Amino acid sequence: MQPNLDRVKQYLEQFPIPELAMVVTLSQDQALYALVRDPAGGVHKVQVGDYLGTDHGRITSIDEIEVQLMEIVSDGTGGWVERARTVTLGGGEEEPS
């Protein structure tokens, strides 16, 4: 397992997860989206499969109170490990598990 370093990064990947805040969810065509605020106050629509944060975090699920993502981070020995993160409604995050 390792991140795809050749793909084009999405806009919200330039910000650390603690600087992003979930604002609200939207339902459209039976899909659930979240609006996420960046540190400059811009609001962005995200969906499952989009990327957030500086550690290759890919959104795995969205519900009314949180956005869950899986990051791929260095294990410090030249390899990679997955780490779950959650951005909650109103901002902030839960500790990585």
Sketch the domain layout of the chain as residue ranges: 11-89
Helix (H, G, I), strand (E, B) or coil at 53: coil
Query: Quick one: pLDDT at residue 33?
Result: 96
* Residue 75: DSSP 8-state: -
CA distance 51 to 29: 21
pTM of the model: 0.88
User: Each residue's pLDDT tens digit in the chain (97 positions)?
Assistant: 889 999 999 999 999 999 999 999 998 888 899 999 999 999 999 999 999 999 999 999 999 999 999 999 999 998 999 999 999 888 655 555 4
What CATH code is assigned to 11-89?
Answer: 2.30.30.830
Query: Closest Cα partner for 25 from 60, 70, 63, 53?
Result: 63
Q: What pLDDT, on a 0 to 100 scale, did the predictor assign at position 92?
A: 55
Number of Cβ atoms within 10 Å of the Cβ of 54: 15
22 close to 89: Cβ distance less than 8 angstroms: yes
Q: How high is the pLDDT of residue 91?
A: 66
